Amino acid sequence: MNQRYLVALDQGTTSSRAIVFSLEGEVIAADARTFAQHYPQPGWVEHDPKDILSTQVEALRVAVRKAGIDPREIAAIGITNQRETTLLWDRDTGECLHPAIVWQCRRTAPLVDRLKGEGAGDAIRRKTGLVPDAYFSGTKLQWLLDHLGVRSRAEKGELCFGTVDSFLCWHLVQGHPHVTDATNAGRTMLFNLHTQAWDEELLRMMHIPPQVLPRVLDTAGQVGMLRADILGVPVPVAALAGDQHAALFGQACYEEGQAKNTYGTGCFMLMNMGVHFRLSASNLLTTMAWRLKGQPTYALEGSVFVAGAAIQWLRDELKIIRTSNESEALARSVPDSGGVYFVPAFTGLGAPHWDMYARGTLVGLTRGTGAAHIARAALEAIAFQSDELLQAMARDVGRQPDVMRVDGGATRNNLLMQMQADLSAIVVQRPRTAETTALGAALLAGMGVGLFDSPLAAQSHWRAESEFQPLMEEEDRRRALRGWRRAVERAKGWALEENGEG
């Protein structure tokens, strides 16, 4: 039978999705299943592993049914996933010993503080490219082994640790392979990006027995065959990639210096750094872009904590818009923000400022300021914050790219896209396929079964839907950026002073 389709499983934080693509990268059919979020204590976030599994299988079956295809026509399946979320299961039964600890969960912040206190921060930074944080899987696994009292079982090889890609493979692939890929391994704080192997020193620091760890595979390549009972026939599973890495691939950012930005609740920007590991001078993360045929490609990663969430705030708290979409029309009803700057530092500021005491600030208000100016300032804030990441990356690599590729829910906003082009003096390209994460996983799976032999062969699948050219006068741009910097200074350290600690 002709193999004419690639399928992506996109296991996200709030939903499991499956998308059937043609070999040309067109979406044929998709399905998404949401599942419950559990918050057992303030700052703690968990998922039920059974929910992850059942929603993912259901989404796959329904998407294939909707596509009306014979599963034998599927050339390969690629898996992309929420990163860093940590699971621990019994190697014999597959039973999880605890709910999945979700990447957002802050329960291991004290363990991270202790690690830093013991001087581990430098080794973590140098070896993993990460900045020590409770987000990453290492201390989550440490916590599970301590809390459940199962370290000796782990040492005997009776338990498996995995991120969501690992967990899905163990359960969905014939023979229960205990595997992960280099992009996911790179988010554990246990994986040495230089040697491309689990790092003994880091394992010792976090008291992790190596027997519990999965084997680290290339991002594209044969993982195994999907269990035949799921779609009626076995299908090759041929790629594993963390979601942001898959998106970078789906955006065809294959060359050094190419960057993509995802505009959702927050923003995630990744820039391809080529084959040379480099640490950022602005404390951005260094991470895997992907590993193909044993060859690592690295990326710089930065995130904006509050992006689309600022628009949600206009909608839910200020109630000056009814839908996120309305932000565009409201902002367009005035020619500019009237000198208003909005720094939505609700939870502090990330790169390049790294100030957890910063708080949200509205400055430049006058008697004439109205809702439209504030809406405009909120959209500009998304563009300004993304620009700060882009500038930090540009400093690290020595040049600003000419083009940035974008995806995510907020890229529907044409005004925001134009603001980004203007404020960053960059061409912003929005692709025809909004599903860049899934497309990336599907294309990687295509590479994994040899349909494409290099990323460049997959490049033809990327097409721009719209392009936004920078139109702003340089002097106006500089003035706007200066204004933003002054506003950020006003936001910094606010919570610190409030507590009288400043």
Binding site for ligand ADP (CB under 6 A): 264-265, 308-309, 311-312, 324-325, 327-328, 408-410, 412-413, 416
> How far apart (Å, rounded) are the C-alpha atoms in residues 442 and 229?
22
CB of 330 to ligand ADP, least distance (A): 10
The alpha carbon of 384 is separated from its chain's Cα centroid by a whole number of angstroms, namely 20
> How far apart (Å, rounded) are the C-alpha atoms in residues 26 and 310?
32
Q: Quick count: other Cβ atoms within 10 Å of Cβ 361?
A: 17
CB of 331 to ligand ADP, least distance (A): 9
Which pairs count as long-range contacts for 283-287, CB under 8 Å and 24+ apart, including other chains?
A: 283/131, 283/351, 283/352, 283/354, 284/351, 284/352, 284/389, 284/392, 284/393, 284/396, 285/129, 285/130, 285/131, 286/129, 286/130, 286/193, 287/129, 287/130, 287/183, 287/186, 287/187, 287/193, 287/245
Task: Name the residue nearer to ligand ADP (CB basis): 49 or 266.
Answer: 266
Task: Name the residue nearer to ligand ADP (CB basis): 202 or 246.
Answer: 246
Task: Name the residue nearer to ligand ADP (CB basis): 277 or 313.
Answer: 313
CB of 264 to ligand ADP, least distance (A): 3
CB of 420 to ligand ADP, least distance (A): 12
H/E segment holding residue 457: helix 455-458
Residue type, 70: D
Task: Name the residue nearer to ligand ADP (CB basis): 416 or 421.
Answer: 416
Task: Name the residue nearer to ligand ADP (CB basis): 153 or 260.
Answer: 260
CB of 383 to ligand ADP, least distance (A): 11
CB of 313 to ligand ADP, least distance (A): 9
CB of 260 to ligand ADP, least distance (A): 13
User: Which one, of 500, 439, 452, lies nearest residue 245 by Cα?
Assistant: 439
> Phi/psi at 285 (nearest 5 deg)?
-85, 145
Task: Name the residue nearer to ligand ADP (CB basis): 271 or 410.
Answer: 410
> How far apart (Å, rounded) are the C-alpha atoms in residues 275 and 388?
24
**Cβ proximity of 372 and 333 under 8 Å:** yes
**Cβ proximity of 381 and 342 under 8 Å:** yes
Burial class (CB in 10 A: 0-12, 13-18, 19+), 288: buried
Task: Name the residue nearer to ligand ADP (CB basis): 326 or 489.
Answer: 326
Crossing angle for the helix pair 414-424 and 371-397, to the nearest 10 degrees = 50
Task: Name the residue nearer to ligand ADP (CB basis): 277 or 305.
Answer: 305
Task: Name the residue nearer to ligand ADP (CB basis): 34 or 460.
Answer: 34
CB of 81 to ligand ADP, least distance (A): 14
User: Which one, of 469, 475, 465, 484, lies nearest residue 418 by Cα?
Assistant: 469
CB of 104 to ligand ADP, least distance (A): 12
Task: Name the residue nearer to ligand ADP (CB basis): 216 or 311.
Answer: 311
Task: Name the residue nearer to ligand ADP (CB basis): 30 or 449.
Answer: 30
- Give alpha helix (H) positions in 90-212: 109-117, 121-128, 137-148, 151-155, 164-172, 182-185, 200-205
Bridge partners of 429, per DSSP, are: 405, 467
CB of 305 to ligand ADP, least distance (A): 12
**3 state DSSP class of 33:** strand
Q: Which two tokens stand for residue 79?
A: 């898996």
CB of 82 to ligand ADP, least distance (A): 10
Distances 57 to 27, 189, 204, 219, 390 between C-alpha atoms, Å: 19, 29, 36, 21, 38
